[in-house]
Amino acid sequence: MEKKCSSKYLALFTLILTIVLPLQLFAADEYRIDPVHSSVLFKIKHLAISNIYGKFADFRGTLKIDQENPTKNSIVAYVPAKSIDTHTPNRDNHLRSPDFLDVEKFSNVSFRSKSWKKIDNDAFEVSGELTLHGTTRPLTVELVQTGTGKDPWGGYRIGFETSFLIKRDDFKMGKMQKTVGGTIYITVSIEAVRKE
């Protein structure tokens, strides 16, 4: 009787290992965006003559990456709107005002993915929602994996990059169109550290 019970428990334990262990081995890894080594850059036309360049100095968020099943990948990222930096304090203060970002009312620019689709070995089509100036709109980008590997401090890192454009009018920021271009060109470079 004891041998039969032992056999049943052994079979049950084996079944659990068969199901659970692969799930643990291939579960999505969670990463935290490293703000020191990540960038959100932009450019926009001035007087339809030249491009003005800038960045957001702060960038936060998390990613979940499943190497076996990229459809389970996700990203939630945001930048504090007040961290905008065009190397000109007076202009930055104007960009933070109600004429543009209105940072007192809308503190963050954020993106939350809804789906990931693998295009090739290093590229993904990522669709989600971009929230800017209190307005949320769908956004689809091509996100390229730029590298992975161990860092000198014992951690493991992953990198991504994408470039896309948005229209100011789509986010109710259409003021001063004769002076400031209506299209914003954005590049996002992400370096993220895996949570252990």
In a domain, residue 48? The reply is: yes
The answer as to whether 47 is a domain residue is yes
Q: Tell whether 13 is covered by a domain.
A: no
The three-state secondary structure class of 176 is coil
Please check whether residue 21 lies inside any domain of the structure.
no
- The domain of 46 spans 27-194
Residue whose structure tokens are 């579960």: 27
Instruction: Encode the chain (196 residues) as per-residue pLDDT tens digits.
Output: 555 555 555 555 554 445 444 444 456 899 999 999 999 999 999 999 999 999 999 999 999 999 889 999 999 999 999 999 999 999 999 999 999 999 999 999 999 999 999 999 899 999 999 999 999 999 999 999 999 999 999 999 999 999 999 999 999 998 898 899 999 999 999 999 999 8
What token pair was written down for 4? 């039969």
* 8 belongs to a structural domain: no
| pLDDT tens sequence across 110-135 | 999 999 999 998 999 999 999 999 99
Q: For residues 9 and 113, what is the distance between their CA atoms, to the nearest angstrom?
A: 43
User: Taking all residues of the chain, what is their mean pLDDT, rounded to a whole number?
Assistant: 89
Q: Is residue 127 part of a domain?
A: yes
Residue 19 covered by a domain? no
Mapped onto helix, strand or coil, the DSSP state of residue 35 is helix
Residue 11 belongs to a domain:
no
Structural domain total, the chain: 1
CATH number assigned to the domain comprising residue 130: 2.40.128.110
